Amino acid sequence: MAITAQAVKELRDRTGAGMMDCKNALIETGGDLEEAIKFLRTKGLGAASKKSHRAASDGVVVIEGDERVMVVLELNCETDFVGHNPDFVSFAEELAKQALSSGAMGVDELMGQAYSGDAAHTVEEAISQKVATIGENIVLNRLERIEAGSDNRLNSYVHGGGKIGVVVEGAGGVTPEALHDVALHVAAAEPRFVTRDEVTEDLLETEREIAIKQAMDQGKPEEIAKRIVEGKMEKFFVQEVLLDQAFAKDSGKSVAQYLKENAGDDATVVRFVRFKLGEGSDE
Judgement on whether residues 129 and 166 belong to the same structural domain of the protein? no
Buried-exposed string 47-74: b where 16+ CB fall within 10 A, e elsewhere:
bbbebbeeebbbbbbbbbbeeeebbbbb
The yes-or-no verdict on residue 280 having pLDDT over 70 is: no
206 lies in some domain: no
Judgement on whether residues 167 and 186 belong to the same structural domain of the protein? yes
pLDDT at position 70 is 98
Each residue's pLDDT tens digit, 85-131: 999 999 999 999 999 999 999 999 999 999 998 888 899 999 988 88
Judgement on whether residues 27 and 120 belong to the same structural domain of the protein? no
Judgement on whether residues 274 and 151 belong to the same structural domain of the protein? yes
Share of the chain above pLDDT 90, in %: 58
Provide mean pLDDT across the span 201-226. Answer: 82
pLDDT band at residue 55 under the 50/70/90 scheme: low
- SS3 of 144-184: EEEECCCCCEEEEEEECCCCEEEEEEEECCCCHHHHHHHHH
CATH code of the domain containing 134: 3.30.479.20
Q: How many domains does the chain have?
A: 3
The yes-or-no verdict on residue 182 having pLDDT over 60 is: yes
Boundary residue ending a domain (104, 122, 145): 145
CA distance 54 to 143: 21
pLDDT band at residue 57 under the 50/70/90 scheme: confident
263 lies in some domain: yes
The yes-or-no verdict on residue 214 having pLDDT over 90 is: no
pLDDT at position 43 is 66
Judgement on whether residues 77 and 129 belong to the same structural domain of the protein? yes
pLDDT at position 186 is 98
DSSP letter at 43?
Answer: T
Average pLDDT, the chain: 89
230 lies in some domain: no
Provide mean pLDDT across the span 41-54. Answer: 57
DSSP letter at 193?
Answer: B
255 lies in some domain: yes
The yes-or-no verdict on residue 208 having pLDDT over 70 is: yes
Judgement on whether residues 103 and 187 belong to the same structural domain of the protein? no
Looking at per-residue pLDDT, the higher value among 52 and 187 belongs to 187
Cα–Cα separations (whole angstroms), residue 114 to 16, 40, 176: 21, 18, 34
pTM (two decimals): 0.76
Judgement on whether residues 190 and 272 belong to the same structural domain of the protein? yes
Each residue's pLDDT tens digit, 140-179: 999 999 999 999 999 999 999 999 999 999 999 899 999 9
221 lies in some domain: no
The yes-or-no verdict on residue 249 having pLDDT over 90 is: yes
Judgement on whether residues 159 and 277 belong to the same structural domain of the protein? yes
CA distance 120 to 109: 17
217 lies in some domain: no
Provide mean pLDDT across the span 18-46. Answer: 80
118 lies in some domain: yes
pLDDT band at residue 283 under the 50/70/90 scheme: very low
Residue 28 sits in which domain range? 5-51
Provide mean pLDDT across the span 233-246. Answer: 94
